[in-house]
Amino acid sequence: MQAAERSLDQDLQLMLALAKEAGDLALSYTLTGGAEAWNKTGGKGPVTEADLAVNRLCLKQLQTARPDYGWLSEETLDDPAARAKSRVWVVDPIDGTRAYISGDPHWCIALAIVEEGEAVASVLYAPALSRMYSARKGAGAFLNGNAIHVSLRDAEDGLRLITNEGLVTHPAWKEPWPRVEIARPKPNATLLRMAHVATGEWDAALVLAEKSDWDLAAGTVLVHEAGGHATTHLGEAFVFNQAVPAQRSVLASGKALHPLLLRRLEVVKIPDPQARAAQPMPDQTKPVQTEPKRMSESAKTGKQLLHIVFGGELKDVTGVEFEDLSQMDFIGAFPNYQEAYDAWKSAAQRTVDQAEMRYFILHAHKLLDPATGDHHHV
């Protein structure tokens, strides 16, 4: 056995023991009245004292055992210098915190090793489900010590899919989906969705929204070693531990099904997170262009009609009452319906995985000027 493989096997045993200890720690809070919870700043979701306690335990043990490895965790402030190593621990102390808080058993502890951007070993433990998943590159994937394999489905019709409710009926799709069975309810934890694909219990898992590396690394090696593919919805291989530790989306499935879904999903536009990476300073020796941009010709010809494109999370997908008006997403104002429709479609396609998130076009035909009380028809 090569030294690198021997090292990964040792790391895998370390992760298995640590995941069990971390799971017991997380469960201990549920036996004593529950963990204190609060919302993270910036709308990044909830966190509990159990998340932080598990994070501290993992950080201490993993860095003690492998001080030469880098570190990336959801509950540790990202430090690019700390993960500038050939091998990096990627940890999600509790994936599925909302489920954990509510008493739903579909949450897990995820530990992974990323080597030169590739996930090469992982352990994923769901203590409330008594499920311990593990995988190492080239050595297969396992659930509670038994080998697992992805589904062999090779057709979309009858597909068993884990994704957000309402995705397949979203109005933005050019081509209607065939008969699809949607997981109801779906696991809150993205990693558990990937694990269900790895075992073949479900054919595919799809998230059409940006996910962080810690949401994907452990599940990626698990799916790959179970004989499947885990990529972005465009078929891009995940490269972990980049400048921005995130991926634009995730599609996990068996190999025969994967290209069929990629063909369907290619119309969905989701930005590459790496576009947010720090850009080089402009060349100060070059003159700066200060001439304002011209308005488009369509905005100057004919009578301007105001169309506003906006969206938000609905309280009920059958109505138009928004969950939180302070979190509305305003796409922009447009001079005609065609431009507004194009903007609406682009926004709608980005959120097909979020059934409660809907976008609308408001045709404003009357404006009120509060300063004068005048009404202006447009």
The band of 325, judged by pLDDT with boundaries at 50, 70 and 90, is confident
The residue ranking higher by pLDDT, 93 or 374, is 93
Of 39-43, 44-48, 264-268, 271-275, which range is least confident? 39-43
The Cα-based distances of 124 to 18, 146, 216 in angstroms read 11, 14, 11
Question: Are 179 and 73 in contact, with CB atoms under 8 Å apart?
Answer: no
Query: For 221-260, how does the pLDDT look when each residue is reduced to its tens digit (9 = 90+)?
Result: 999 999 999 999 999 999 999 999 999 999 999 999 999 9
- Chain mean pLDDT for the chain: 87
Ranked by mean pLDDT, the top range of 40-44, 168-172, 374-378 is 168-172
Cβ neighbours, 10 Å, residue 260: 16
Kindly compute the dihedral angle of the four CA atoms of residues 112, 115, 121, 126, in this order, to the nearest 10 degrees: 10
CB 230 within 8 A of CB 216: yes
Please check if 95 is assigned to a binding site.
Answer: yes
* pLDDT of 241: 97
Using DSSP's 3-state secondary structure scheme, residue 42 falls into helix
Tokens of 309: 């494109």
Distance (Å, whole) CA 198 – CA 10? 23
d(CA 192, CA 211): 14
Nearest in space to 91 (alpha carbons), one of 65, 64, 116, 121 = 121
Confidence band for 285, pLDDT divided at 50, 70 and 90: very low
**Is the pLDDT confidence value at 288 over 50?**
no
Q: Is 342 annotated as a binding residue?
A: no
Kindly state the percentage of the chain with pLDDT values over 70.
84
pLDDT of residue 170: 86
The residue that leads in pLDDT, 326 or 309, is 309
Residue 94 annotated as binding site = yes
Mean pLDDT of 78-99: 95
Residue 92 among known ligand-binding residues: yes
92 in Cβ contact with 190 (< 8 Å) = no
Q: Which amino acid is at 272?
A: D
CA angle 311, 315, 317 (to 5 degrees): 75
Give me the domains of the chain, ranges plus CATH numbers: 3-138 (3.30.540.10), 159-273 (3.40.190.80), 307-366 (3.30.70.2400)
pLDDT at 301: 44
